[in-house]
Amino acid sequence: IDLSVSWLGLSMASPLFNASGVMCRHADELDRLAASCAGAVITKSCTLEPRAGNPEPRYAALPFGSINSMGLPNEGFRYYLDYARRYDYGRGKPLFVSVSGMSADETLTILGELARLDLPCLPEVNLSCPNVPGKPQTGYDFAASAALLDAIVRIYPKTFGVKLPPYFDPVHFDMMADVLRAYPTLGFVTCINSIGNALVVDVERELALIRPKDGLGGLGGSYVLPTALANVREFARRLPDRHVVGCGGVTSGAEAFMHILCGATVVQIGTCLYEEGPGAFERIAAELSALMRSKGYRTLDAFRGRLGTP
Ligand SMILES: O=C(O)c1[nH]c(=O)[nH]c(=O)c1I
């Protein structure tokens, strides 16, 4: 069974890696991911300056997933560019750098610096952070997304990707795909970010579970799997010459299989990694491999994007 993936000039021994934000804020966490069975590594979304993020409690594990309103805590982009400079690309694990400036200008400044370094890492531009109070998700504003992408391709000449929020209407899949299609250097779209602004209630204490935004936070984990799969399949259909990175609700080999069957080239793991630790990559890869064997598939290409309709 061959779980390898070659895409965007990269090669990965496993299609699985971390979702930005999980176990990737500090260099030691990133090194731990690089030493794990993950096929790649992505950094925490970064801003121009370091940020402490939102007041705690800002994360809670739930029966079927998680809710978070971290508020973009990160070490500032220079920290991650330094990491990207020192990273050992020779070990065959691609490095992605997630960028989520507090403004379009911040994002452009960060990408301009990244372009100047001309490193092998790829940017994933986060259009979908739901947790900075007062900061709307760019991905839900199609004109703002187009304007940002227009500016990005002028200052960042190489391949990049975007992290999208979940959409819930075919008209929105159409509109966002129309925007993204216009940028030939947009090599991948990551679907999905957490489902924004959910509210989880503690009945006994009659309190929201997290403090920021009076309890509103991004939902992750098994709760979001069906929405994630729909976004993966709909964008893979609309952007057949780009890659879709699946993200959302992967806790097992079967769920990784679902994302790839829906068209994902590779798959990110968030909540499950946060709760289980990096051993999740080895377990899920083994489960995926066993499932493929039971179905007679020897490679991921044998079933990628082949979901049918009854
Ligand atoms: O609260 C966060 O830091 C956060 N949390 C998320 O669930 N998605 C995001 O893109 C971000 I930047």
Residue 69 sits at the vertex; the CA angle it makes with 195 and 186, to the nearest 5 degrees, is 55
Would you say 213 and 68 are in contact if contact means Cβ atoms under 8 Å apart?
A: no
Average pLDDT for 49-68: 98
Q: What CA–CA distance (Å, rounded) separates 261 from 258? A: 5
Which token pair is 1?
Answer: 């069974």
pLDDT digits 0-9 by tens, 212-242? 999 999 999 999 999 999 999 999 999 999 9
Residue 270 sits at the vertex; the CA angle it makes with 164 and 298, to the nearest 5 degrees, is 90
Would you say 269 and 306 are in contact if contact means Cβ atoms under 8 Å apart?
A: no
Q: What is the DSSP track for 269-296?
A: E-HHHHHH-THHHHHHHHHHHHHHHHHT
What is the amino acid identity at position 167? Y
Q: How far is the CA of 72 from the centre of ligand 1 (A)?
A: 6
Structural domains in the chain, CATH included, are: 5-53+72-194+221-302 (3.20.20.70)
- Most ligand 1 atoms within 8 A of CB, residue of 20, 106, 194, 271 to mutate: 194
Sheet of strand 122-126: strand arrangement: 16-18, 266-269, 243-247, 186-191, 160-164, 122-126, 95-99, 41-42
What ipTM is given for this predicted complex? 0.99
Q: What CA–CA distance (Å, rounded) separates 294 from 45? A: 38
Would you say 242 and 161 are in contact if contact means Cβ atoms under 8 Å apart?
A: no
Q: How far is the CA of 259 from the centre of ligand 1 (A)?
A: 21
Give ligand 1 pocket residues (Cβ under 6 A). Answer: 21, 45, 68-72, 100, 126, 128-129, 131, 193-194, 218
Q: Per-residue confidence at 82, pLDDT binned at 50, 70, 90?
A: very high
Catalytic residue chosen out of the listed positions 24, 37, 121, 129: 129
pLDDT score at 16: 99
Q: How far is the CA of 218 from the centre of ligand 1 (A)?
A: 7
Q: What is the largest distance, in Å, between two alpha-carbon atoms of the chain?
A: 54
Would you say 236 and 264 are in contact if contact means Cβ atoms under 8 Å apart?
A: yes
129 flagged as catalytic: yes
Nearest CA to ligand 1 atom 3: 72
Q: Is 186 helix (H, G, I), strand (E, B) or coil?
A: strand
Closest atom of ligand 1 to 220 CA is 7
pLDDT score at 201: 98
pLDDT score at 139: 98
Q: How far is the CA of 69 from the centre of ligand 1 (A)?
A: 7
Nearest CA to ligand 1 atom 11: 129
